[in-house]
Amino acid sequence: MSEHPELPTMEETDMSVEVIAGHGEGCWGTPIPGSRKRTHSSPSVLEGASKYGILDLLVNAKSVEAEVNEWLAKRRNCSEKTAKWITNRLTKIVDLLNDAAGEMMTVRSTKMHRTTNLEEEIDEIRRDNARIMDKLDQMTWNIEGGMETGVRGIERIERRIGEQEGDIEEMKEMVRKEVQKNMQEEIGKVLKGKEKEKKEEKRVMVERIKEIENTQSLQNRILGEIKENMDRVYTGVSKVYRGEQEREVRMEERHREMMEKWGEERRGRAARETTVGNGMETEGGEESYAAAVRKRVKRKIERKSRKGVRITKEEQGKEIGGEKVRKELMGNIDPIKKGWEIVGFRRGRNAVFVDVMKKEQLKGIIEDTDLKEKGFRVEEQRKLFPWIILTGVPEDIGKEELGKRIEETIGRTKEELEGQLRVRVWRDARSGKRNVILEVNPETRRDLLRVGRIRVGWVSCRIEDFTTVLQCAKCFGFGHRAAVCRVCLSGVWQKWALFECVQRKRGG
């Protein structure tokens, strides 16, 4: 607002000041638009203002105010604060004009009392009116200039705000693009790093898989060699055992034939000796030495058959170990006081086996009350029958049908084989064939081995003795278990355990 120094500043125009158009006698009270208090009770002021031309000045000020209000109404983009400031300035100017008119009327009224030359006073009032009009025009021009300047300033501010908003949008777009570019670069770096890590992991996994495959191939080759060796050993043992069985059968048949021939020869010799009469006797009636030697004296050989019992004990519904059963049995029972003739005592995995000389003592041991009170369970040992195996039995053949085929093959009935034939199924994991193991008595075994094969449907199954071979899981040797294996990893047969191996401690 420094372009128009004639206008009062914001500090000079107090919005809260009450402007009174006139005070006392002779004051004028014409209402001015924008003034806060425009009423007055003296009509002489209006008459004087109309007489001296001041009323026209006030009417012109009112028209200026109306034009300004109309201009402000058209300027819709003008801010509320600017419109309020312009309205307050215009109101202040009109109030100042009211005050000036009041003062002038006061001065003129004083002059009217002092001089009688009314014409001069009228001329002077007209000149003052002209000066006031000039000042009013100047003030109006200043107001319009200030309003135009304010509007141009507002427009410049709006343009700057628009330019700043555009700059802000451009900066936002630039920042967004830069951030997006940086994010893409970082994501690309991370993806490249992950791809490298994946390639490295893949390479390590491929190498590891190759190592595992090589190890597996080596293990498979070793296992194949071991299986071949086991098959050869098993085949050799089976052949030897089968040969021994066949040789035993042949020996029995030969022995029976020899016994029959010897019986016939003996009967013939006895007949001949009877026909000879007393030619072999001595003169005194005594038998000669040659005749006594020729006589076969049968010796009665008594074979001692051992009978045994199986003793077990349970704790919490589960059988305890054989060593614990042995200790408790030896600590609680005295066989000498009970009169038991013990001829054998051995420990099993979960039981103790006791052999006695006489069969009558078995009943006494089984019904002994002391054993029952101590929680021992006693039962007679069951005889173990030999096992034979039928190889390659079809899957659709059940136990009942297989039993019928066996009965038809050896020519026996079901009642004759009752309790002498137990069927167990065993599958060979290496060949995938279904084999059947039969637990039979010696007579049935001999008959089946003599036949050699049994026909089941469209398949001819081979019959062989089933021999279990005890093999060590550590050294793969035969005749012992891994728990009692005495072979060190160095391959040297020693009497000490692996952890005591001298060769291992020395690093050999």
CA dihedral 276, 278, 281, 283 (to 10 degrees): -140
- 29, 40 in Cβ contact below 8 A? yes
Phi-psi region of 24 (alpha: psi -120 to 50; beta: other; left: phi over 0): left
Q: What is the pLDDT of residue 63?
A: 66
**Helix, strand, coil share of the chain (percent; to 5):** 55, 15, 30
CA dihedral 139, 140, 141, 144 (to 10 degrees): 120
- 247, 277 in Cβ contact below 8 A? no
In terms of Cβ atoms closer than 10 Å to its own Cβ (0-12, 13-18, 19+), residue 473 is exposed
Residues 6 or more apart from 85 whose CB is under 8 A from it?
Answer: 10
- The structure tokens 């030359």 sit at 117
- The structure tokens 């101590």 sit at 374
Q: Each residue's pLDDT tens digit in the chain (508 positions)?
A: 333 334 333 333 333 333 333 333 333 333 434 444 443 334 444 444 444 455 555 556 566 666 666 666 665 555 666 767 777 777 777 777 777 777 777 776 766 566 556 667 677 788 888 888 888 888 888 887 777 787 787 888 888 888 888 888 888 888 888 888 888 888 888 888 778 888 888 888 888 888 888 887 887 788 777 877 777 777 777 677 667 767 777 777 777 777 777 767 766 666 555 554 444 444 444 455 555 555 544 444 444 445 788 888 888 878 888 888 888 888 888 888 888 888 888 888 888 888 887 788 888 888 888 888 888 888 888 777 788 888 888 877 777 888 888 888 888 777 777 766 777 766 665 666 678 888 888 888 888 888 888 888 788 888 888 877 778 888 787 777 787 777 765 544 444 444 444 444 444 4
Beta strands in 348-452 (DSSP E): 352-356, 376-380, 387-391, 421-427, 434-440
pTM of full prediction above 0.75: no
Long-range pairs for 75-80 at CB < 8 Å and ≥24 separation? 75/151, 77/154, 77/158, 78/151, 78/154, 79/154
> d(Cα 459, Cα 453) in Å, to the nearest integer?
10
Strand order through the sheet with 453-456: 421-427, 434-440, 387-391, 459-465, 453-456
Q: What is the pLDDT of residue 211?
A: 84
**Residue 436 burial (CB count, 10 A):** 21
Q: What is the pLDDT of residue 72?
A: 61
> d(Cα 361, Cα 341) in Å, to the nearest integer?
8
Residue type, 309: V
Closest CA to 403 of 415, 391, 392, 395: 415
Question: What are the Cα distances from residue 371, in Å, to 129, 320, 321, 344, 454?
Answer: 152, 16, 17, 18, 48
Residue type, 386: P
Q: What is the pLDDT of residue 272?
A: 59
Q: What is the pLDDT of residue 23?
A: 35
> d(Cα 333, Cα 326) in Å, to the nearest integer?
11
> d(Cα 201, Cα 194) in Å, to the nearest integer?
10
